Structure 1
Amino acid sequence: MTILVTGARGRVSAAVLRELVQRGESVRAAGREPAAAGLPDGVQSVRLALADPDGFAAALDGVRKVFLYAEPTGIDAFLDAARGAGVEHVVLLSSLAAGEPDPESNAIGAFHVAAEQALIASGLAWTILRPGSFATNTLLWAPSIREAGVVPSAFPNTHNSPIHEQDIATVAVQSLLDAAHHGAVHALTGPESLTEHEMVDLLAEAVGRPIRIQQATPEEELARLTPFAGPEVAKVLVDYRAGYDGVPAEVHDGVREVTGRPALPFARWAADHAADFR
Structure 2
Amino acid sequence: MSTILVTGATGNVGGHVVRELERAGLPVRALVRDPARARLPERVETVAGDLTRPETLEPALADVETAFLVWPGFAARTAEPVVEALAGRARRVVYLSANVPQGDGEPTIFHQELERLIRASGMSWTFLRPSGFAVNTLGWADQVRTGVVRWPYGQAGRTLIHEKDIAAVAVHVLTSAGHGGAAYPISGPEVLTQAEQVRIIGEVIGREVRWEELPPEQAREQLLAAWGDANFVDAALAGWRSLVDSPEEVTDVVEKLLGRPALPFRSWVRDHEADFR
* TM-score normalised to structure 2 length: 0.91
The equivalent residue for 1:141 is 140
Counterparts of 2:151 and 2:185, CA distance in 1? 27
Counterparts of 1:45 and 1:264, CA distance in 2? 30
The worse-fitting range, judged by mean Cα deviation, of 261-270 and 234-243 is: 234-243
Q: 1:183 to 1:276 in 2, by over 3 A?
A: same
**Residue 21 in structure 1 maps to residue 22 in structure 2:** yes
1:247 is displaced (CA, Å) by 4.5
The equivalent residue for 1:201 is 199
CA contact (8 A) 2:255 2:262 kept: yes
CA contact (8 A) 1:98 1:130 kept: no
The worse-fitting range, judged by mean Cα deviation, of 205-214 and 165-174 is: 205-214
CA contact (8 A) 2:102 2:247 kept: no
For the residue of structure 1 that corresponds to 2:52, the secondary structure is coil
RMSD of equivalent CA atoms: 2.1
Counterparts of 1:81 and 1:167, CA distance in 2? 29
For the residue of structure 1 that corresponds to 2:178, the secondary structure is helix
Q: 1:119 to 1:98 in 2, by over 3 A?
A: farther
Letter in 2 for 1:68: L
For the residue of structure 2 that corresponds to 1:202, the secondary structure is helix
For the residue of structure 1 that corresponds to 2:65, the secondary structure is strand
The equivalent residue for 2:127 is 128
Q: 1:257 to 1:228 in 2, by over 3 A?
A: farther
The equivalent residue for 1:113 is 112
The equivalent residue for 1:225 is 223
Task: For structure 1, list consecutive stretches of 5 or more residues without a partner in the other structure.
Answer: none
Counterparts of 1:153 and 1:224, CA distance in 2? 10
Counterparts of 2:190 and 2:64, CA distance in 1? 37
CA contact (8 A) 1:132 1:189 kept: yes
Q: 1:99 to 1:197 in 2, by over 3 A?
A: closer
Q: 1:46 to 1:228 in 2, by over 3 A?
A: farther
Q: 1:179 to 1:187 in 2, by over 3 A?
A: same
Runs (4+) of structure 1 exceeding 4 A deviation are 98-103
For the residue of structure 1 that corresponds to 2:77, the secondary structure is coil
Task: For structure 2, list consecutive stretches of 5 or more residues without a partner in the other structure.
Answer: none
Over the matched positions of the two proteins, sequence identity in percent amounts to 39
Q: 1:49 to 1:73 in 2, by over 3 A?
A: farther
Counterparts of 2:77 and 2:20, CA distance in 1? 28
CA contact (8 A) 2:99 2:105 kept: no
CA contact (8 A) 2:103 2:131 kept: no
* TM-score normalised to structure 1 length: 0.91
The equivalent residue for 1:75 is 79
